[in-house]
Amino acid sequence: MIIVKGANVYPQQIERILMETEGVGRNYLIHLQGLDEMIVKVELDANAFDGRISMLEGMQKNITDRIRAEVQVKPVVELLAPGTLPVSEGKTKRVIDNRSL
């Protein structure tokens, strides 16, 4: 569990939302920075992009809205090309906390 803007956030909640979203790949990263900013970096599925920017914008808004409804914190969602995020052997580290006071 992580605490962001006073809300208890479980990475599993975010993972469930992402895995239920069509066009999202299997890899994601939750990056906490600044005072309490949550950035969710999400890899797209290899076949997800059909060349329309509006499709990406809609997917980004959908993910943002669903995460906000679930955890009561509005994240910044970044959609990335497949293979962009590092893949680690063993247990994958999904949360990077670089917050500062």
pTM of the entire predicted model? 0.90
How does residue 89 score in pLDDT terms, banded at 50, 70 and 90? low
C-alpha to C-alpha distance for 82 and 21, rounded to whole angstroms:
15
Domain containing residue 41: 2-99
Structural domains of the chain, count: 1
Instruction: Name which of 79, 69, 66 is nearest 27 in CA terms.
Output: 79
How does residue 88 score in pLDDT terms, banded at 50, 70 and 90? low
CATH number at 71 reads 3.30.300.30
Entry field: residues in the chain: 101
Would you give the DSSP letter of residue 72?
A: S
9 pLDDT higher than 80: yes
Instruction: Name which of 48, 38, 36 is nearest 13 in CA terms.
Output: 38
Q: List pLDDT tens digits, range 27-84.
A: 999 999 998 899 999 999 988 777 788 989 999 999 999 999 999 999 999 999 998 9
Contacts of 84 (CB under 8 A, 6+ apart): 41, 43
